[in-house]
Amino acid sequence: MKRFLVLDSFRGLCAVALIVHHSHIEQSFTELTFFRNASQFVGFFFALSGFLIYRRYIGNLTTPRQLGEFMITRTCRVVPLHVAVLLFFIGFECLKLVMERYGLSLNYPAFSGDRAPSEILPNLLLIQAWWPTFNALSFNYPAWFISVEFYLWMIFAVILFSLPGLARKLFSLLCVLAFIALYKDFNLIPRNVLWGASCFFAGAITYRLYVRLHDSVPGPVFATVLEVAVLAAIYGVMTEGEQPLTIELGLLFCVAVLIFSYEAGLVSRLLRIRLFPTLGKLWLSIYLTHAAVIFVLATVITIAAKFSGLSLLVDRPGETSGTMVRYLSTGTALNDNLLLLFVVIAVVVVSMFTHRYIEAPGVRFGKHWKHGTQLRRRKDDPPPEQV
């Protein structure tokens, strides 16, 4: 089955953009409008996931065994790394408790606010983004995407298994209804869930378009024009569009998935350079670990500022009225951007380790579990699927 290397590269770059988005370094690239709105790239993750999941499983979820294997594969794809990072945050809160007993306190008391003990179980069950009384951004806040994505996978699988003849129509209906609910600000379902559902099922529809247009591959020049045009449109909406941007960008991300799936233009050729597919391979580890790396760095700087008396932290008003955001600041734009570069490199390095020792073993375990080959040697493992 063809691997969409360029789409993988695109996903890796989106994950890097989210590192920049969440870094909050005062005089750095993090404050450009494009990166301040980079959280919207999660919509691309949803759209590409719908595209790839539909491609992989359409017609292949017809028996209870296949349904069970799907659930095992999807669970082992994201849960080990998610739980590992969650345990890191819980462990850090325990460390804060010890520090507080010795009179050293950080910004907030241990196990308070978005890291209250009541939020642990919803995170373990990946339901934190689905119920309004839970805090979707608790503990490892990027994991809200995994919460939404995981159960969208389950909904997809159950529909495809139980109603195979109606599945395509139901996926289209769910996509349309989710987009309408977003447009109408329907508040009985969390907005992030609606966003995820609309982009995910739109991605599934995009794959159907890809199949129909598969024989109409554009030439290199026209493909390059299309690639540049869709990237320019995405950039324009993210820098000039009015909030919220979810509907417009959701549709543009699907167009981008369709155009870059052909891998026919100059931009696609650039995205096949080794660095970019490597980032694509690490995208999930980058996404799930970047908040933890940024948190550790911010904590170290906070402690350094308290003991040294240096002004390394600046509080600025947040986008939501009445909120404050703490920025890291070295005092100069050059040093702030060097600090940002250090953060990005640190996240990628950490992600290389988490991918090798947590994410990839989890995927292998899932494959062995569904085939009953848990004792199989690592060198015999098949290559990973692109999902």
| 294-344 pLDDT, tens digit each | 989 888 887 777 777 667 777 676 665 556 677 888 888 999 999 999 999
The 10 Å Cβ neighbour count of residue 26 is 19
Q: Which residues contact 150 (CB under 8 A, 6 or more apart)?
A: 74, 75, 78, 79, 126
Q: What is the pLDDT of residues 160-215, one digit of tens each?
A: 999 999 999 999 999 999 999 999 988 889 999 999 999 999 999 999 999 998 88
The 10 Å Cβ neighbour count of residue 352 is 15
pLDDT of residue 13: 97
The position carrying tokens 């179980």 is: 121
What is the dihedral angle through the alpha carbons of 39, 43, 48, 49, rounded to the nearest 10 degrees? 100
pLDDT of residue 320: 59
Q: In angstroms, rounded to a whole number, what is the distance separating the alpha carbons of residues 205 and 308? A: 56
pLDDT of residue 375: 57
Q: How far is CA 88 from the centre of its chain?
A: 19
Provide the residue count of the chain. Answer: 387
pLDDT of residue 322: 59
Q: Which positions of the chain have pLDDT values less than 50? A: 377
pLDDT of residue 299: 83
Average pLDDT, the chain: 90
| SS3 (DSSP) at 135 | coil
Q: At what angle do helices 283-308 and 5-23 cross, to 10 degrees?
A: 20
The 10 Å Cβ neighbour count of residue 321 is 6
